[in-house]
Amino acid sequence: MNPIYALDLIGTFAFALSGALVAHKQGFDLFGVVIIAFVTAVGGGMVRDVLIDSHPINWIGNLAYIWVILGAVVCVFLFKSKVAPLSKTLFLFDAIGISVFTLLGLQKSIDAELPLFVALIMGMVSSVFGGVIRDVLTREVPLIFKKEIYASACLIGGLVYLVFHYFEYTGAIQFAVSASVIFLVRIISVVYHLELPKINKDVFGK
């Protein structure tokens, strides 16, 4: 199996697990859990494919994603007491997932001959919009709008990928270095509680 494809499936499984756990915690029924797991795992890629008019849509072209998502839902229902405490492990998988999804979405957009800036945004959309949809459906403020450095990590790694692309230095090293940048920025930002600056409310007289 292609290592990048394997990481893609691991990221999909981790995203689906996180979505299923959120839905289960809020008391959703089986159908609701499946839907939230689904949109968390493939929602970002689906939004990207719709925006860039790419067909077939990501999961429609490869049903392996559906089986991975269903597997994650089964794990939550059968082993919730063992899965829920694995927050650190799931966080690592999540960091891997956004690293891979960002670069896959970025490269797919480049292959579609979109402007590089647009391709960079599409890479970010691929990795974070599944979580945005999940949070909206479960009535939470999306993580990317909070203090944690999440989408910014995707953009930083995406820029590194584009630098390699500009100098026509493509291949496994390009992917590995760029993915590592996203992964490390995400990990370091959480470990050291780094966050983007906020607009002071006093500026608006409130």
pLDDT tens, residue by residue, 123-155: 999 999 999 999 999 998 887 887 668 899 999
Instruction: Out of 73-87, 102-116, 182-196, pick the least confident.
Output: 73-87
Proportion of the chain above pLDDT 90, given as a percent: 59
Q: What's the number of domains the chain is made of?
A: 1
Decide if 202 is inside a domain: no
C-alpha span between 157 and 91 (Å, rounded): 18
- Residue 193 confidence (pLDDT) above 90: no
Decide if 200 is inside a domain: no
Decide if 57 is inside a domain: yes
Question: Does the predicted model carry a pTM greater than 0.85?
Answer: yes
Q: Which helix (H) or strand (E) holds 36?
A: helix 30-51
Decide if 199 is inside a domain: no
Question: What per-residue confidence (pLDDT) applies to 204?
Answer: 52
Decide if 101 is inside a domain: yes
Phi-psi region of 113 (alpha: psi -120 to 50; beta: other; left: phi over 0): left
The residue behind tokens 């780094």 is 194
Instruction: Out of 1-10, 38-47, 134-143, pick the least confident.
Output: 1-10
Decide if 23 is inside a domain: yes
Decide if 68 is inside a domain: yes
Domain hosting residue 66, numbered range: 3-193
Decide if 110 is inside a domain: yes
